[in-house]
Structure 1
């Protein structure tokens, strides 16, 4: 449920209403190896198991078989400058089990080192070709500054 206030009535038509929940969920890669149909989320502390299930089913159309939640206590640490003891916020994790026939794979966000080097080499070759073409076009105009080109 949202704690935001919306006007009940607006003059004119259409009467537009938008529901913006205060809930949020973040996909997290677990530290330990898990089954392929289990997905790990970090979620809002106010969310219950039913809220998590409805959130995934209604918004993202993901069928959910089971939801388990865990609250981990935030770390205690000492402030460097003043020496205060500070406690980080507690975190709620949700382990969502998908049906047996579904398999979840985490998205690949970063390219491999070889692929990155290949892309860099291609862009460098393209820049060299462009620069050679520029030099060929302007080889007879040595007195004109480089920023002034045709």
Structure 2
């Protein structure tokens, strides 16, 4: 996966979040800080979560904006928030990895499928949760690219 879409600057390790909203704000904030999206995109991410859970299983959630939020995307980007203690994403699901996505134009589905390939393997998710550096965590995505 391209370094311009996923880089060490868009990874937070060892973070605690009180709830899923805070975790989504952290993931969205990384996308804002790296000029991938306008600040309003974070609100779209929260709106998506209110209408449909972005928890995909295997202790992973992939929050992303609504269709309306596409106008707030400057360029494609991915953020990763590692939550070793986990955060409740509802219905008894705990996310330890929250991956924020902003897909420009038609890149959204390609990004989602690449992420799905990595996080569908429980061993990969376990390695992501235990990673002690952004480089170590990102290597899982670069290996599968």
- Asked if these proteins are the same fold (TM beyond 0.5), I'd say no
The TM-score with structure 1 as length reference comes to 0.26
Larger radius of gyration: 1
Of structures 1 and 2, the one with the larger relative CO (CA 8 A, separation 6+) is: 2
